[in-house]
């Protein structure tokens, strides 16, 4: 392998948009970039700049605490930090029902899952399933997606053209809202039952996995459609999202192999979804099944569906209320002329999106530690990087100057993979089928307990540790999972040390 020059690596790690041309890389740069992002085969030492997983945008905060995911991009100019703080204030805003004296913060619901973005994305980190079922606990940072198979030719045509990802359940909409404002009935309560399943590892250690079963109790608006499909989702961490948005589409698609042409058992597929702002089909990048193309659309759909707030790309003033919920549709709303006829203006969504794009990835911990390096070798050689692609160089023409031309280490390919029957939700979303999930980024995963006080992973938080999360892998990841099962104790502990260093 020809090692790239230190000066070029420094350029990637330090350079931001205004310092260079917005044109694409030169042929020489492209060749060097290809060399830089090629997975290493040297595990005797950390790679250059590996300690900075987001390049110059890596958080400058070095002390570890509950605010480790709430820092702005490390290369952000002082002038732009004001927008970040304004976005943070809107992200934390507690919305109230209409009418209210606070006419810039009213319009909650009438049906909703949380009163603020922060209530789901706790400390900008990872949500979790409830400790117990309602009424003993609530599911604020987790909810159920709902949909049905298409029933009309129009619905089938919309799905085929990627104009819609799903057909919402006709009475309850696209997700179960378990809260409501005064005078309205909540839609219902998520109910989870776990069954323990033991897995014996090669060294004799027994790990118990919990298999969840989901149902809905206390239905507020009558029976569900007989063919309803439910998918549980915990709120994912918010760090590094602008950098993921700034990876060139061709770089993501270069890893796609939908027909497994190379015969390695890995068949990454791109999700294609409707970009409302562009009015065209685009690559899906965000959400557990890559159902959203941009952070603006992701943020808009979240504030509309989770909180019930209307915005330019989601104009329904009653959020996810359906035609079967007349009281909800007729309730007062907070739309006003000062907000362009919505409850949240385009400027408010711009600030929330800017904040979301610039939540910084923390620096690595101990990347030179011998056990961490040994675990990195296990991670690479077990085949985990076939989906969790280690690194990219973002585009010069990125979503913001902070994201421009950075060497980043997210450990994801942003593609859909069949994860086996064990993790299947049996609910399609766009081109994703009921067994496919987008590869989640791993950066920051080792700080979950520090930030959020738990170690619950996967789309529904069923895994109570990183080891449990690995053991749930099936389908395209079955071979990699089986290699982990076969590891000796010291190798497995090294693998977990590597993951916890990310």
Rounded CA gap, 71 and 63, in Å?
A: 12
Are 48 and 66 contacting, i.e. CB atoms less than 8 angstroms apart? Answer: no
Reply yes or no on whether the pLDDT at 490 is more than 70. Answer: yes
How would residue 8 be classed by pLDDT, with cut points 50, 70 and 90? very low
Q: How far apart are CA 361 and CA 56, in angstroms?
A: 10
Q: How confident is the model at residue 24 (pLDDT cuts 50, 70, 90)?
A: low
Q: What percent of the chain has pLDDT over 90?
A: 89
Structure pTM? 0.94
42 is written with which tokens?
């040297």
Report residue 230 CA to chain centroid gap: 19
3-state secondary structure of 21: coil
Q: What average pLDDT does range 51-75 have in this prediction?
A: 97
Percent of the chain with pLDDT over 70: 95
Q: What phi and psi, each to the nearest 5 degrees, are found at residue 123?
A: 55, 30
Higher pLDDT pick, 316 / 362: 362
CB neighbourhood size of 277 (10 A):
13
Radius of gyration in angstroms for the set of CA atoms belonging to the chain, rounded to a whole number: 22
pLDDT over 50 (residue 202): yes
Q: What is the pLDDT of residues 240-276, one digit of tens each?
A: 999 999 999 999 999 999 999 999 999 999 999 999 9
pLDDT digits (tens, 9 = 90+) for 275-328: 999 999 999 999 999 999 999 999 999 999 999 999 999 998 889 999 999 999
Whole-Å CA distances, 18 to 14, 22, 405:
12, 8, 10
- The rounded distance, in Å, linking the Cα atoms of 194 and 209 is 9
What is the arithmetic mean of pLDDT over 95-123? Answer: 91
3-state helix vs strand vs coil in the chain, percent to 5 = 30, 15, 55
How is domain 6-75+360-501 classified at the CATH fold level?
Cytochrome Bc1 Complex; Chain D, domain 2 (1.10.760)
Average pLDDT over residues 375-393: 97
Determine the average pLDDT of the residues in 9-35: 59
The domains of the chain are located at 6-75+360-501, 78-247+293-357
Question: Residue 316 has what pLDDT?
Answer: 86
User: Is residue 343 packed enough to be buried (19+ CB in 10 Å), middle (13-18) or exposed (0-12)?
Assistant: buried
pLDDT value at 6 more than 80? no
pLDDT, residue 386, reads 97
The pLDDT, as a whole number, for residue 66 is 97
Q: What SS3 class is residue 217?
A: strand
The three-point CA angle 445-449-454 to 5° equals 110
d(CA 480, CA 471): 10
Q: How confident is the model at residue 3 (pLDDT cuts 50, 70, 90)?
A: very low
The DSSP secondary-structure symbol of 332 reads: -
Q: Which of 403, 378, 99 is nearest to 243 (CA)?
A: 403
d(CA 318, CA 34) in angstroms, rounded, equals 48
When pLDDT is cut at 50, 70 and 90, the band that residue 16 belongs to is very low
Q: With beta carbons less than 8 A apart as the criterion, state whether 216 and 224 touch.
A: yes
Per the CB < 8 A criterion, the answer to whether 217 and 478 are in contact is: no
Secondary structure (DSSP) of 266-327: ---B--EEEETTTTEEEE--BTTTT-BSSHHHHHHHHHHHHH---BTTB--TTTT--TT-HH
| pLDDT over 90 at 348, yes or no | yes
394-410, pLDDT tens digit by residue? Answer: 999 999 999 999 999 99
Q: How many other CB atoms are found less than 10 A from the CB of residue 472?
A: 20
Banded pLDDT at 102 (limits 50, 70, 90) = confident
Indicate the pLDDT class of residue 29, thresholds 50, 70 and 90: confident
End-to-end distance of the chain based on CA atoms, in angstroms?
Answer: 25
């Amino acid at each position: 392998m020809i090692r790239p020059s230190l000066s070029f690596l420094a350029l990637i790690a330090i350079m931001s948009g205004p310092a260079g041309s917005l044109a694409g890389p030169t042929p020489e740069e492209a060749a060097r970039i290809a060399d830089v992002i090629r997975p290493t085969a040297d595990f005797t030492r950390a790679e250059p700049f590996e300690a900075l997983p987001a390049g110059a945008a890596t958080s400058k905060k070095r002390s570890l605490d509950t605010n480790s995911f709430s820092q702005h991009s490390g290369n952000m100019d002082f002038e732009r930090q004001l927008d970040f703080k304004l976005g943070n204030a809107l992200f934390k805003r507690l919305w109230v029902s209409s009418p209210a004296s606070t006419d810039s913060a009213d319009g909650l619901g009438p049906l909703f899952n949380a009163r603020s973005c922060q209530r789901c994305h706790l400390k900008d980190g990872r949500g979790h399933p409830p400790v117990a079922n309602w009424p003993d606990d609530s599911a604020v940072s987790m909810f159920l997606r709902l949909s049905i198979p298409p029933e009309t030719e129009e619905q089938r045509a919309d799905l085929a053209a990627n104009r819609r990802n799903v057909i919402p359940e006709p009475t309850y909409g696209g997700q179960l809202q378990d809260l409501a404002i005064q005078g309205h009935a909540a839609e219902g309560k998520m109910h989870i039952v776990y069954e323990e399943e033991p897995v014996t590892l090669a060294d004799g250690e027994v790990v118990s996995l919990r298999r969840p079963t989901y149902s809905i109790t206390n239905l507020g608006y009558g029976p569900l459609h007989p063919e309803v499909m439910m998918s549980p989702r915990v709120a994912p961490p918010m760090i590094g999202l602008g950098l993921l948005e700034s990876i060139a589409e061709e770089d993501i698609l270069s890893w796609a192999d939908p027909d497994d042409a190379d015969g390695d058992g890995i068949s990454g597929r791109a999700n294609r979804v409707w970009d409302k702002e562009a009015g065209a089909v685009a690559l899906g990048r965000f959400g557990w099944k890559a159902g959203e193309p941009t952070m603006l659309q992701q943020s808009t759909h979240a504030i509309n569906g989770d909180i019930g707030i209307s915005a330019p790309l989601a104009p329904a003033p009653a959020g996810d209320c359906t035609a079967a919920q007349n009281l909800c549709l007729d309730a007062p709303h907070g739309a006003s002329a000062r907000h362009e006829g919505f409850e949240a203006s385009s400027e408010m969504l711009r600030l929330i999106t800017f904040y979301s794009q610039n939540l910084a990835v923390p620096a690595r911990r101990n990347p030179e530690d011998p056990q961490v390096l040994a675990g990195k070798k296990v991670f690479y050689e077990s085949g985990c990087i076939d989906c969790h692609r280690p690194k990219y160089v973002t585009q010069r023409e990125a979503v913001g100057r902070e994201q421009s031309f950075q060497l980043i280490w997210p450990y994801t390919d942003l593609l859909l993979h069949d994860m086996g029957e064990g993790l299947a939700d049996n609910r399609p979303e766009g081109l994703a089928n009921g067994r496919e999930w987008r590869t989640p980024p791993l950066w920051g995963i080792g700080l979950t307990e520090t930030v959020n006080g738990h170690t619950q992973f996967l789309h529904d938080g069923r895994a109570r540790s990183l080891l449990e999360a690995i053991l749930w892998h099936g389908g395209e990841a079955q071979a990699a999972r089986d290699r982990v099962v076969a590891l000796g104790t010291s190798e497995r502990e090294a693998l977990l040390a590597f993951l916890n260093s990310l």
